[in-house]
Amino acid sequence: MSFTTPKLTLMVGRMVAAPAPASLMSALRRAQVTNTDSGPSGFQLEFQVTRGSSPLDYSVMTQGLLAPFNRIVLMVTLSTLPTVIMDGLITRIELHPRQGNQPDMMVVTGEDISVAMDLMEKTMPFPAMSDWMIADLIMAEYAAYGIIPMALPTAVSLSMMPLDYTIQQGGMTDRAFLNKLARRNGYVFQIIPGPAPMTNTGYFGPPRRLGVPQAALTINELPLSNVNALSFSYDALAPTTVTGLVQDTLETDMDIPIEALLPVRVPPLAAMPAILANVPNIRVTLLDPEGMDPMQAEVVAQSMVDRSTDNVMTASGELDVLRYGSVLSAPGLVGVRGAGYGHDGLYYVQQVTHDIKPESYTQQFTLTREGWGSTVPGVLP
């Protein structure tokens, strides 16, 4: 399998991945990688396999490289710029023997390195630790996989330490527990591969809306258009406000009203958030404050509002990487132009799927924001 522009590099090994031998690269027919902020990222590799020098089995099997839980690193190089798009472990292997004119194929599937965090359920107390400290501690246990923790302080931990109660990891895996902590703070937990092979950032924080936007996605502006397809959807039923009562058991023993009415994602990406545009037709969700103090309840209520509005406006499409001129990465920001004021502007890149074949490199993408209208006068090309 020969890649000219871009070049695909496959590394494979047990704990430390090394460049794949030429025989394995020549057998590779397709690589698919999905990077997402809302769950584990994954990969799938398709190999055309043959009987090697040994008549007993296929050559890729006798090499022993494509074994369960072996490490896979995929990197693409475009215009001399290398980008690591996956660092993961093999979790599934399929063999499809020859059928008619179809050759023997082997399909290898896996998840990002966080799958190593999802193998053992634990019951563990974390006394006097805030959610982000717990996230930092858990991720540090997986340093052997090149994970560098990046846990951002949560709202509750900025003003108080949980000295009067102990957070418990109750019978769940580390990955499931990190996702639970992230959701109740309006955060995401994700493993971001790179920048160097076999290094990863373990990110625990709000969706990453800061930074320089990636090259703009352009539609309806020939010859500048650089996407194969782009469509938009607006979910008017998604946004919700949250209200409720929580008992102040520490001080007054009174019921304290809790209310969250607007998203507080920074920076805002829509000039008119759906939660305002839809007034008065807005869902009202009642908060179940069981086990929460007033401050915790406020944080949870706000996270519910933020998450409800994150995906109100969704843009889905496909681009050709060579025509686009770079690799679109998730998470991050990207500009859209040519779709009109209501749909142009900045979006959060929630998910991308790389589809790499010898003759093509395309990406399917999902972009999100909280409503209509651009917050910027224009986007960079």
User: pLDDT tens digits for 18-50?
Assistant: 999 998 999 999 999 999 998 899 999 999 988
Taking residues 163-178, report their average pLDDT: 88
pLDDT, greater one: 130 or 141: 141
Q: Which of 86-90, 152-156, 169-173, 239-243 has the lowest mean pLDDT?
A: 152-156
Q: Mean pLDDT across the chain, nearest whole number? A: 90
Which part of the chain has CATH 2.40.10.10?
7-116
Strands 71-78 and 7-13: antiparallel
- Determine the average pLDDT of the residues in 243-254: 79
Residue 158 pLDDT greater than 60, yes or no: no
**Residue 24: both structure tokens together:** 């394995």
Q: Which two tokens stand for residue 300?
A: 């949870």
The residue type at 158: L
Say whether pLDDT at 1 is over 50: no
Q: How far apart are alpha carbons 162 and 156 in whole angstroms?
A: 9
Q: What is the mean pLDDT of residues 78-103?
A: 91
Q: What CATH topology corresponds to 7-116?
A: Thrombin, subunit H (2.40.10)
Q: What CATH number matches the domain at 120-205, 3.55.50, 3.40.1130, 2.30.30, 1.20.1280?
A: 3.55.50
Coil/strand/helix, residue 93: strand
* Interval 369-373 mean pLDDT: 95
The pLDDT value recorded for residue 381 is: 80
Q: pLDDT value at position 52?
A: 65
* Count of alpha carbons within 13 angstroms of residue 348, beta-carbon side: 26
Cis ω before 267 (30° cut-off from 0): yes
Which range, of 51-65, 171-185, 201-215, 346-360, averages the lowest pLDDT?
51-65
At residue 3 the predicted structure's pLDDT band, cuts being 50, 70 and 90, is very low
Question: Rounded mean pLDDT of 105-111?
Answer: 96
pLDDT at 4 over 80: no
The string of pLDDT tens digits covering residues 299-308 is 899 999 999 9
Of residues 319 and 64, more confidence is placed in: 319
pLDDT tens readout for residues 204-232 = 999 999 999 999 999 988 788 999 999 99
Please give the pLDDT value at position 290.
78
Mean pLDDT for 120-127 is 94
Token pair, residue 191, equals 């493993």
Q: How far apart are the first and last CA of the chain?
A: 33
- Taking residues 326-347, what's their average pLDDT? 95
What are the start and end residues of each CATH 3.55.50 domain in the chain? 120-205
Q: What is the pTM of this model?
A: 0.91
Give the pLDDT of residue 249.
65
